[in-house]
Structure 1
Protein backbone atom coordinates (compact mmCIF):
# COMPACT_ATOMS: atom_id res chain seq x y z
CA UNK A 1 0.00 0.00 0.00
CA UNK A 2 1.18 3.54 -0.70
CA UNK A 3 1.71 6.18 1.96
CA UNK A 4 -0.97 8.85 2.16
CA UNK A 5 1.36 11.74 1.36
CA UNK A 6 2.76 10.07 -1.74
CA UNK A 7 1.68 11.77 -4.98
CA UNK A 8 1.66 8.89 -7.43
CA UNK A 9 -0.78 10.23 -9.99
CA UNK A 10 -3.74 8.26 -11.32
CA UNK A 11 -4.65 5.07 -9.51
CA UNK A 12 -6.75 2.11 -10.63
CA UNK A 13 -8.28 -0.21 -8.04
CA UNK A 14 -9.86 -3.58 -8.79
CA UNK A 15 -11.94 -5.45 -6.23
CA UNK A 16 -13.00 -9.05 -6.87
CA UNK A 17 -15.86 -10.59 -4.89
CA UNK A 18 -17.84 -13.79 -5.06
CA UNK A 19 -21.52 -13.14 -4.36
CA UNK A 20 -23.56 -15.80 -2.57
CA UNK A 21 -26.14 -17.55 -4.73
CA UNK A 22 -29.48 -15.76 -4.68
CA UNK A 23 -28.02 -12.37 -3.70
CA UNK A 24 -27.09 -11.29 -7.23
CA UNK A 25 -30.12 -8.97 -7.74
CA UNK A 26 -29.39 -7.13 -4.47
CA UNK A 27 -25.70 -6.93 -5.36
CA UNK A 28 -26.50 -5.50 -8.81
CA UNK A 29 -28.64 -2.76 -7.23
CA UNK A 30 -25.90 -2.16 -4.65
CA UNK A 31 -23.32 -1.72 -7.44
CA UNK A 32 -25.50 0.90 -9.17
CA UNK A 33 -25.90 2.92 -5.96
CA UNK A 34 -22.22 2.61 -5.05
CA UNK A 35 -21.07 3.68 -8.54
CA UNK A 36 -23.32 6.73 -8.39
CA UNK A 37 -21.97 7.68 -4.95
CA UNK A 38 -18.34 7.24 -6.04
CA UNK A 39 -18.88 9.35 -9.17
CA UNK A 40 -19.71 12.34 -6.95
CA UNK A 41 -16.29 12.27 -5.26
CA UNK A 42 -13.52 14.64 -6.44
CA UNK A 43 -11.06 13.05 -8.82
CA UNK A 44 -13.31 10.13 -9.75
CA UNK A 45 -12.62 9.10 -13.34
CA UNK A 46 -14.52 5.92 -14.10
CA UNK A 47 -15.91 2.59 -12.94
CA UNK A 48 -16.11 -0.67 -14.86
CA UNK A 49 -17.94 -3.74 -13.65
CA UNK A 50 -17.10 -7.23 -14.88
CA UNK A 51 -19.91 -9.62 -14.08
CA UNK A 52 -19.36 -13.26 -13.16
CA UNK A 53 -18.03 -15.31 -16.05
CA UNK A 54 -15.43 -18.01 -16.62
CA UNK A 55 -12.93 -15.20 -17.32
CA UNK A 56 -13.45 -13.75 -13.81
CA UNK A 57 -13.65 -17.17 -12.15
CA UNK A 58 -17.30 -16.51 -11.31
CA UNK A 59 -16.56 -13.30 -9.40
CA UNK A 60 -17.78 -9.75 -9.79
CA UNK A 61 -14.86 -7.41 -10.47
CA UNK A 62 -15.31 -3.69 -9.83
CA UNK A 63 -12.57 -1.51 -11.32
CA UNK A 64 -12.51 2.17 -10.38
CA UNK A 65 -10.10 4.96 -11.18
CA UNK A 66 -9.21 8.22 -9.45
CA UNK A 67 -6.90 10.97 -10.65
CA UNK A 68 -4.72 10.87 -7.51
CA UNK A 69 -4.02 8.60 -4.59
CA UNK A 70 -5.33 11.29 -2.22
CA UNK A 71 -8.69 11.44 -4.03
CA UNK A 72 -8.90 7.66 -4.03
CA UNK A 73 -8.19 7.62 -0.29
CA UNK A 74 -10.95 10.18 0.31
CA UNK A 75 -13.40 7.80 -1.35
CA UNK A 76 -12.04 4.66 0.30
CA UNK A 77 -12.08 6.14 3.81
CA UNK A 78 -15.39 7.98 3.42
CA UNK A 79 -18.30 7.13 5.67
CA UNK A 80 -20.55 6.59 2.66
CA UNK A 81 -18.23 3.88 1.29
CA UNK A 82 -17.95 2.27 4.72
CA UNK A 83 -21.75 2.14 4.86
CA UNK A 84 -21.85 0.51 1.42
CA UNK A 85 -19.29 -2.10 2.47
CA UNK A 86 -21.24 -2.87 5.63
CA UNK A 87 -24.43 -3.34 3.62
CA UNK A 88 -22.89 -5.95 1.32
CA UNK A 89 -21.12 -8.10 3.94
CA UNK A 90 -23.83 -10.76 4.23
CA UNK A 91 -24.01 -11.22 0.46
CA UNK A 92 -20.31 -11.99 -0.05
CA UNK A 93 -18.69 -15.42 0.01
CA UNK A 94 -15.15 -15.34 1.40
CA UNK A 95 -12.79 -12.38 1.28
CA UNK A 96 -12.67 -9.61 -1.30
CA UNK A 97 -9.45 -9.34 -3.27
CA UNK A 98 -8.20 -5.77 -3.84
CA UNK A 99 -5.44 -4.69 -6.21
CA UNK A 100 -4.10 -1.19 -6.87
CA UNK A 101 -2.21 -0.19 -10.00
CA UNK A 102 -0.42 3.03 -10.88
CA UNK A 103 1.82 4.14 -13.68
CA UNK A 104 2.18 1.86 -16.69
CA UNK A 105 0.66 -1.22 -15.04
CA UNK A 106 -2.79 -0.33 -16.39
CA UNK A 107 -1.53 -0.86 -19.96
CA UNK A 108 -1.01 -4.51 -19.07
CA UNK A 109 -4.34 -5.29 -17.37
CA UNK A 110 -6.28 -8.25 -18.63
CA UNK A 111 -9.90 -8.59 -17.50
CA UNK A 112 -9.37 -12.35 -17.36
CA UNK A 113 -6.57 -11.82 -14.82
CA UNK A 114 -7.82 -8.83 -12.82
CA UNK A 115 -5.49 -9.37 -9.86
CA UNK A 116 -2.23 -10.06 -11.63
CA UNK A 117 0.45 -7.75 -13.10
CA UNK A 118 3.45 -8.72 -15.21
CA UNK A 119 6.96 -8.29 -13.85
CA UNK A 120 8.44 -4.81 -14.39
CA UNK A 121 11.24 -6.03 -16.68
CA UNK A 122 8.66 -7.68 -18.97
CA UNK A 123 6.68 -4.43 -19.18
CA UNK A 124 9.89 -2.59 -20.12
CA UNK A 125 10.78 -5.19 -22.76
CA UNK A 126 7.34 -4.78 -24.34
CA UNK A 127 7.11 -0.99 -24.06
CA UNK A 128 10.49 -0.15 -25.63
CA UNK A 129 9.68 -1.57 -29.09
CA UNK A 130 6.04 -0.43 -28.93
CA UNK A 131 7.00 3.15 -28.08
CA UNK A 132 9.82 3.18 -30.65
CA UNK A 133 7.63 1.85 -33.47
CA UNK A 134 4.78 4.24 -32.70
CA UNK A 135 7.08 7.29 -32.48
CA UNK A 136 8.76 6.29 -35.73
CA UNK A 137 5.46 5.75 -37.58
CA UNK A 138 3.81 8.90 -36.21
CA UNK A 139 6.85 11.02 -37.09
CA UNK A 140 6.82 9.59 -40.61
CA UNK A 141 3.08 10.22 -41.05
CA UNK A 142 3.28 13.77 -39.66
CA UNK A 143 6.49 14.69 -41.55
CA UNK A 144 4.61 16.75 -44.20
CA UNK A 145 3.21 19.14 -41.57
CA UNK A 146 6.24 19.15 -39.26
CA UNK A 147 7.86 22.24 -40.80
CA UNK A 148 4.68 24.29 -40.45
CA UNK A 149 4.32 23.59 -36.71
CA UNK A 150 6.30 24.81 -33.74
CA UNK A 151 8.46 21.98 -32.33
CA UNK A 152 6.49 21.89 -29.07
CA UNK A 153 3.18 21.46 -30.93
CA UNK A 154 4.58 18.70 -33.14
CA UNK A 155 5.84 16.90 -30.02
CA UNK A 156 2.50 17.39 -28.26
CA UNK A 157 0.64 15.89 -31.22
CA UNK A 158 3.00 12.89 -31.37
CA UNK A 159 2.78 12.24 -27.62
CA UNK A 160 -1.01 12.66 -27.55
CA UNK A 161 -1.57 10.31 -30.47
CA UNK A 162 0.89 7.81 -29.03
CA UNK A 163 -0.77 7.69 -25.60
CA UNK A 164 -4.25 7.40 -27.13
CA UNK A 165 -3.16 4.63 -29.51
CA UNK A 166 -1.27 2.76 -26.79
CA UNK A 167 -4.11 2.97 -24.28
CA UNK A 168 -7.03 2.06 -26.51
CA UNK A 169 -5.63 0.12 -29.45
CA UNK A 170 -2.05 -1.11 -29.28
CA UNK A 171 -1.47 -2.23 -25.69
CA UNK A 172 -4.74 -4.16 -25.28
CA UNK A 173 -3.85 -6.14 -28.44
CA UNK A 174 -0.16 -6.57 -27.52
CA UNK A 175 -1.07 -7.66 -23.99
CA UNK A 176 -3.58 -10.19 -25.34
CA UNK A 177 -1.03 -11.62 -27.81
CA UNK A 178 1.78 -11.82 -25.22
CA UNK A 179 -0.33 -12.80 -22.19
CA UNK A 180 1.13 -16.30 -21.81
CA UNK A 181 4.64 -14.84 -21.48
CA UNK A 182 3.74 -11.61 -19.65
CA UNK A 183 1.71 -13.21 -16.87
CA UNK A 184 3.80 -16.34 -16.24
Structure 2
Protein backbone atom coordinates (compact mmCIF):
# COMPACT_ATOMS: atom_id res chain seq x y z
CA UNK A 1 0.00 0.00 0.00
CA UNK A 2 1.30 3.43 -0.88
CA UNK A 3 1.68 6.23 1.66
CA UNK A 4 0.44 9.66 0.63
CA UNK A 5 1.64 13.17 1.32
CA UNK A 6 -1.45 15.29 1.87
CA UNK A 7 -1.78 19.02 1.22
CA UNK A 8 -5.14 20.57 1.99
CA UNK A 9 -8.18 20.34 4.19
CA UNK A 10 -10.76 17.59 4.26
CA UNK A 11 -13.48 19.71 2.60
CA UNK A 12 -11.90 20.96 -0.61
CA UNK A 13 -11.37 18.91 -3.78
CA UNK A 14 -8.08 17.01 -3.96
CA UNK A 15 -6.09 15.44 -6.78
CA UNK A 16 -3.89 12.42 -6.38
CA UNK A 17 -0.95 12.12 -8.77
CA UNK A 18 0.38 8.61 -9.42
CA UNK A 19 3.56 8.35 -11.48
CA UNK A 20 4.38 5.00 -13.06
CA UNK A 21 7.17 3.61 -15.26
CA UNK A 22 6.18 0.52 -17.21
CA UNK A 23 8.43 -2.48 -16.73
CA UNK A 24 10.07 -3.89 -19.90
CA UNK A 25 7.60 -6.00 -21.89
CA UNK A 26 4.66 -5.11 -19.65
CA UNK A 27 2.97 -2.48 -21.85
CA UNK A 28 -0.17 -4.55 -22.72
CA UNK A 29 -0.65 -5.73 -19.13
CA UNK A 30 -0.09 -2.19 -17.82
CA UNK A 31 -2.70 -0.79 -20.22
CA UNK A 32 -5.23 -3.37 -19.00
CA UNK A 33 -4.39 -2.51 -15.39
CA UNK A 34 -4.75 1.21 -16.15
CA UNK A 35 -8.19 0.65 -17.72
CA UNK A 36 -9.25 -1.30 -14.62
CA UNK A 37 -7.95 1.45 -12.32
CA UNK A 38 -9.77 4.18 -14.25
CA UNK A 39 -12.98 2.12 -14.36
CA UNK A 40 -12.82 1.49 -10.61
CA UNK A 41 -12.21 5.19 -9.93
CA UNK A 42 -15.05 6.23 -12.26
CA UNK A 43 -17.49 4.08 -10.29
CA UNK A 44 -16.87 6.10 -7.12
CA UNK A 45 -19.51 8.85 -6.75
CA UNK A 46 -17.00 11.37 -5.38
CA UNK A 47 -14.68 11.21 -8.41
CA UNK A 48 -14.80 14.58 -10.17
CA UNK A 49 -12.42 13.84 -13.02
CA UNK A 50 -9.40 11.92 -14.20
CA UNK A 51 -6.54 12.28 -16.66
CA UNK A 52 -3.70 10.10 -17.87
CA UNK A 53 -0.60 11.69 -19.39
CA UNK A 54 2.19 9.81 -21.10
CA UNK A 55 5.57 11.43 -20.49
CA UNK A 56 8.31 9.89 -22.57
CA UNK A 57 8.78 6.19 -23.18
CA UNK A 58 6.82 4.21 -20.64
CA UNK A 59 6.29 6.96 -18.04
CA UNK A 60 2.72 7.80 -17.06
CA UNK A 61 1.11 10.40 -14.82
CA UNK A 62 -2.32 9.35 -13.53
CA UNK A 63 -4.40 12.16 -12.00
CA UNK A 64 -7.61 11.47 -10.10
CA UNK A 65 -9.69 14.31 -8.61
CA UNK A 66 -12.02 13.61 -5.69
CA UNK A 67 -14.46 15.97 -4.00
CA UNK A 68 -12.58 15.83 -0.67
CA UNK A 69 -9.70 14.23 1.16
CA UNK A 70 -12.11 11.97 3.03
CA UNK A 71 -13.62 10.77 -0.28
CA UNK A 72 -10.15 9.97 -1.62
CA UNK A 73 -9.25 8.15 1.59
CA UNK A 74 -12.49 6.16 1.38
CA UNK A 75 -11.77 5.18 -2.24
CA UNK A 76 -8.19 4.16 -1.40
CA UNK A 77 -9.37 1.97 1.47
CA UNK A 78 -11.79 -0.04 -0.67
CA UNK A 79 -10.55 -3.66 -0.87
CA UNK A 80 -10.73 -3.72 -4.68
CA UNK A 81 -8.63 -0.53 -4.90
CA UNK A 82 -6.03 -1.85 -2.44
CA UNK A 83 -5.77 -5.06 -4.49
CA UNK A 84 -5.70 -3.16 -7.80
CA UNK A 85 -2.87 -0.87 -6.67
CA UNK A 86 -0.93 -3.88 -5.41
CA UNK A 87 -1.51 -5.75 -8.70
CA UNK A 88 -0.20 -2.76 -10.66
CA UNK A 89 3.23 -3.23 -9.12
CA UNK A 90 3.72 -6.28 -11.37
CA UNK A 91 3.51 -4.08 -14.50
CA UNK A 92 5.02 -0.74 -13.46
CA UNK A 93 7.11 0.85 -10.76
CA UNK A 94 6.23 4.09 -9.00
CA UNK A 95 8.53 6.96 -9.97
CA UNK A 96 7.57 8.93 -6.87
CA UNK A 97 5.29 8.42 -3.90
CA UNK A 98 1.72 9.48 -4.74
CA UNK A 99 1.07 13.12 -3.92
CA UNK A 100 -2.27 14.71 -3.10
CA UNK A 101 -2.76 18.29 -4.24
CA UNK A 102 -5.58 20.78 -3.77
CA UNK A 103 -4.79 23.63 -6.18
CA UNK A 104 -3.31 24.43 -9.57
CA UNK A 105 -0.14 22.46 -8.82
CA UNK A 106 -0.94 19.78 -11.38
CA UNK A 107 -0.74 22.40 -14.14
CA UNK A 108 2.83 22.94 -13.01
CA UNK A 109 4.01 19.33 -13.19
CA UNK A 110 7.03 18.91 -15.42
CA UNK A 111 7.85 15.42 -16.75
CA UNK A 112 10.98 14.15 -15.06
CA UNK A 113 10.55 16.45 -12.06
CA UNK A 114 9.10 15.00 -8.86
CA UNK A 115 5.39 15.75 -8.52
CA UNK A 116 6.01 16.95 -4.98
CA UNK A 117 8.05 19.91 -6.28
CA UNK A 118 5.70 22.88 -6.37
CA UNK A 119 6.58 26.43 -7.39
CA UNK A 120 5.67 29.24 -4.99
CA UNK A 121 2.00 30.22 -5.25
CA UNK A 122 2.82 33.73 -6.44
CA UNK A 123 4.74 32.30 -9.41
CA UNK A 124 1.88 29.91 -10.26
CA UNK A 125 -0.60 32.80 -10.07
CA UNK A 126 1.56 35.08 -12.23
CA UNK A 127 2.17 32.46 -14.94
CA UNK A 128 -1.52 31.47 -14.99
CA UNK A 129 -2.57 35.13 -15.30
CA UNK A 130 -0.05 35.76 -18.09
CA UNK A 131 -1.35 32.69 -19.96
CA UNK A 132 -4.99 33.66 -19.44
CA UNK A 133 -4.85 37.40 -20.19
CA UNK A 134 -4.21 37.20 -23.96
CA UNK A 135 -6.95 34.61 -24.34
CA UNK A 136 -9.46 36.76 -22.46
CA UNK A 137 -8.58 39.82 -24.55
CA UNK A 138 -8.83 37.95 -27.86
CA UNK A 139 -12.07 36.15 -27.00
CA UNK A 140 -13.56 39.40 -25.68
CA UNK A 141 -12.98 41.06 -29.03
CA UNK A 142 -14.05 38.06 -31.15
CA UNK A 143 -17.27 37.02 -29.45
CA UNK A 144 -20.34 38.81 -30.81
CA UNK A 145 -21.81 41.31 -28.35
CA UNK A 146 -25.26 39.98 -29.24
CA UNK A 147 -24.62 36.58 -27.62
CA UNK A 148 -26.66 35.94 -24.48
CA UNK A 149 -24.52 36.63 -21.41
CA UNK A 150 -24.57 33.01 -20.19
CA UNK A 151 -23.39 31.74 -23.59
CA UNK A 152 -20.67 34.41 -23.85
CA UNK A 153 -19.37 33.70 -20.34
CA UNK A 154 -19.51 29.93 -20.92
CA UNK A 155 -17.53 30.16 -24.15
CA UNK A 156 -15.08 32.73 -22.79
CA UNK A 157 -14.26 30.48 -19.83
CA UNK A 158 -14.43 27.01 -21.43
CA UNK A 159 -12.00 27.76 -24.25
CA UNK A 160 -9.26 29.25 -22.02
CA UNK A 161 -9.57 26.46 -19.43
CA UNK A 162 -9.23 23.79 -22.12
CA UNK A 163 -6.37 25.64 -23.80
CA UNK A 164 -4.56 26.13 -20.48
CA UNK A 165 -5.00 22.52 -19.43
CA UNK A 166 -3.98 20.73 -22.62
CA UNK A 167 -1.83 23.13 -24.62
CA UNK A 168 -0.57 26.28 -22.93
CA UNK A 169 0.39 25.30 -19.37
CA UNK A 170 2.35 22.14 -20.25
CA UNK A 171 4.46 24.13 -22.73
CA UNK A 172 4.72 27.26 -20.59
CA UNK A 173 5.68 25.26 -17.50
CA UNK A 174 8.42 23.49 -19.45
CA UNK A 175 9.65 26.77 -20.92
CA UNK A 176 9.71 28.56 -17.55
CA UNK A 177 10.71 25.57 -15.40
CA UNK A 178 14.13 26.96 -14.41
CA UNK A 179 12.50 30.15 -13.08
CA UNK A 180 9.44 28.42 -11.59
CA UNK A 181 11.47 25.85 -9.68
CA UNK A 182 14.47 28.03 -8.82
CA UNK A 183 15.48 27.68 -5.19
CA UNK A 184 14.20 30.53 -3.06
CA UNK A 185 16.49 32.40 -0.71
CA UNK A 186 14.77 32.90 2.60
Tell me the residue number matched to 2:17: 14
Q: Which residue of 1 aligns with 2:64?
A: 65
Aligned to 1:120: 121
Choose between structure 1 and 2: higher helix proportion. 1
8 Å contact 1:48–1:62 — kept in the other structure?
yes
**Equivalent pair of 2:7/2:101 in contact (CA under 8 Å):** no
Q: Tell me if structure 2 keeps the 8 A contact 1:12–1:63.
A: no
Within 5 A, what are the aligned runs for 1:135-174? Answer: 135-142=136-143, 145-146=144-145, 148-174=146-172
Contact 1:49 1:61 in 2 (8 A): yes
User: For the structure 1 residues 34 and 151, does the alpha-carbon distance in structure 2 shift closer, same or farther, using more than 3 Å as the test?
Assistant: closer
In structure 2, relative to structure 1, the CA distance for the partners of 1:49 and 1:149 (3 Å cut) is closer
SS at match of 2:62: strand
Map residues 63-142 of structure 1 onto 2, 5 A cutoff. Answer: 63-69=62-68, 70-87=70-87, 97-115=97-115, 116-142=117-143
By how many angstroms is 1:97 displaced? 0.7
Which is further off, 127-136 or 42-51? 42-51
Structure 2: segments with no counterpart, 5+ residues:
1-5
CA–CA distance in 2 between the matches of 1:66 and 1:12? 4
Structure 1 counterpart SS, 2:151: helix
> What TM-score comes out, normalization by structure 2 length?
0.71
Alignment: residue pair count? 173
SS for the counterpart of 2:40 is helix
CA distance in 1 between partners of 2:71 and 2:84 (Å):
18
Cα distance change, pair 92–110 in 1 and its aligned pair in 2 (3 A): closer
Aligned pair in 2 of structure 1 residues 42, 141: CA closer, same or farther (>3 Å)? same
Structure 2 vs 1, CA of residues 132 and 27 (structure 1 numbering), >3 Å: closer, same or farther? same
What is the rounded CA distance, in whole Å, between the counterparts of 2:105 and 2:19 in structure 1?
18
Name structure 1 gaps, 5 residues minimum: none
Is the Cα–Cα contact under 8 Å of residues 50 and 62 in structure 1 kept in the other structure? yes
Alpha-carbon shift at residue 15 of structure 1 (Å): 2.5
CA contact (8 A) 2:18 2:98 kept: yes
- Deviation per CA, 1:101-160: give whole Å up to 9, x if none: 232222212232251222211101212222222211111122xx11x1233432222112
Q: State the TM-score, normalizing by the size of structure 1.
A: 0.71
